[in-house]
């Protein structure tokens, strides 16, 4: 199979994968501590080496949904540069529990030593393809 065809398959899979990752990355960002939207975006970009970025509108829509679900709470605080108040988002106790259970069910299995070895091997194979 050609490199172009492989890259297309990976791009298609990556698009689907990223759509399912928004909740995880947003909730992890606020699990790390109270943040406003730009800090959440920065956290996600830095944590994924720029591979996961979200449009501002999508981020705010997700944060409103998480607020409605009781996973995050919103507080308004003075802006450091005397501008309009900033909306800060932080996890509620329910949100922390939900993140913990999700990680236990879906992330922890990936951290098992034999799975980590498989992931590292696959990563090497992907790097070989890129060269």
Number of other CB atoms surrounding residue 102 within 10 Å: 15
Token duo for residue 75: 């507080």
Architecture of domain 3-92: Orthogonal Bundle (1.10)
Per-residue confidence (pLDDT) for residue 18, from 0 to 100: 79
Per-residue confidence (pLDDT) for residue 131, from 0 to 100: 54
pLDDT above 60 (res 93)? yes
Q: Measured between alpha carbons, how far is 49 from 60 in angstroms, rounded to an integer?
A: 22
Q: What is the pTM of this model?
A: 0.82
Per-residue confidence (pLDDT) for residue 37, from 0 to 100: 93
What are the pLDDT digits (tens) for 52-92? 888 899 999 999 999 999 999 999 988 878 788 889 999 99
Q: Measured between alpha carbons, how far is 107 from 33 in angstroms, rounded to an integer?
A: 20
Per-residue confidence (pLDDT) for residue 82, from 0 to 100: 78
Q: Measured between alpha carbons, how far is 22 from 41 in angstroms, rounded to an integer?
A: 11
Per-residue confidence (pLDDT) for residue 130, from 0 to 100: 62
Q: Structural domain boundaries of the chain?
A: 3-92
């Amino acid at each position: 199979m050609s490199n172009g065809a492989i890259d297309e398959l990976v791009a298609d899979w990556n698009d689907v994968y990223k759509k399912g990752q928004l909740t995880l990355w947003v909730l992890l960002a606020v699990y790390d501590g109270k943040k406003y939207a730009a800090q959440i975006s920065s956290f996600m970009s830095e944590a994924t080496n720029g591979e996961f970025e979200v449009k501002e509108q999508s981020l705010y829509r997700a944060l409103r949904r998480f607020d409605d679900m009781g996973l995050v709470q919103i507080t308004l605080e003075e802006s450091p540069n005397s501008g309009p108040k900033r909306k800060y988002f932080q996890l509620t106790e329910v949100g922390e529990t939900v993140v913990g259970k999700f990680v236990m069910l879906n992330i922890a299995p990936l951290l098992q030593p034999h799975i980590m070895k498989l992931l590292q091997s696959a990563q090497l194979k992907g790097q070989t393809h890129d060269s």
